[in-house]
Amino acid sequence: MRSKAILGAALALTVTASVHTDARAADTIDFFVVGEGIPEYLAGVAGDAAKGKKTAVARKKGNCLACHKMPIPEEQFHGEVGPDLAGVGSRMSEAELRLRIVDPKITNSESMMPSFYRIEGLNRVMKKHQGKTMLSAQEVEDVVAYLKTLKEN
């Protein structure tokens, strides 16, 4: 009997732990689209461009190089599915860049780019990723801050 009680306690713990991991879904911040952009910081504060560059390159985070050429010569592989991101900070406003990373399908339902800050309406999501955004609100801001530094010469 005693072992049953312990097993019960262990199970209860596991359940609490998994609820806690999924809390990020409920934490997803609401944002407002104005025109073609999202004018306000998602996480309330500006991003960090140096961290954003790392997030953009990291395979398990932005993985932007899978589809884009970027002005990061130290990286060997650069994809060609999307446009070259050199100079994108001159071509697009901060609000447009933010919307692009959050969810390009808001302005273009045909977009081939992933939505990095969306949970609703996604298909074929692996179980461990269900209910989670691909990037956190702060990571989105960091990437936006980095893209803003990519100015045309």
Task: Choose the binding region for ligand HEC from 1-9, 38-46, 80-88, 118-126 (rule: CB under 6 A).
Answer: 80-88
- Under rule CB under 6 A, which residues in 99-118 are in contact with ligand HEC? 100-101, 104, 108, 111-114, 116
Binding to ligand HEC (CB under 6 A): which residues in 134-153? Answer: 143, 147
For tokens 């959050």, the residue is 102
**CA angle in degrees (0–180, nearest 5) for 60-102-147:** 75
* Contact with ligand HEC (CB under 6 A) among 29, 33, 43, 67: 67
Of 26-34, 43-51, 77-85, 123-131: span binding ligand HEC (CB under 6 A)? 77-85
Cβ neighbours for 77, distance < 8 A, ≥ 6 positions apart: 65
Q: Does 38 bind ligand HEC (CB under 6 A)?
A: no
Tokens of 84: 């070259």
Q: Cβ–Cβ contacts within 10 Å for residue 2, how many?
A: 6
Which structure tokens are listed for 59?
A: 């395979």
Half-sphere exposure in the Cβ direction for 13 (13 Å, CA)? 6
Query: Where do contacts with ligand HEC occur on this chain (CB under 6 A)?
Result: 56, 62-64, 66-68, 81-83, 85, 88, 91, 97, 100-101, 104, 108, 111-114, 116, 143, 147
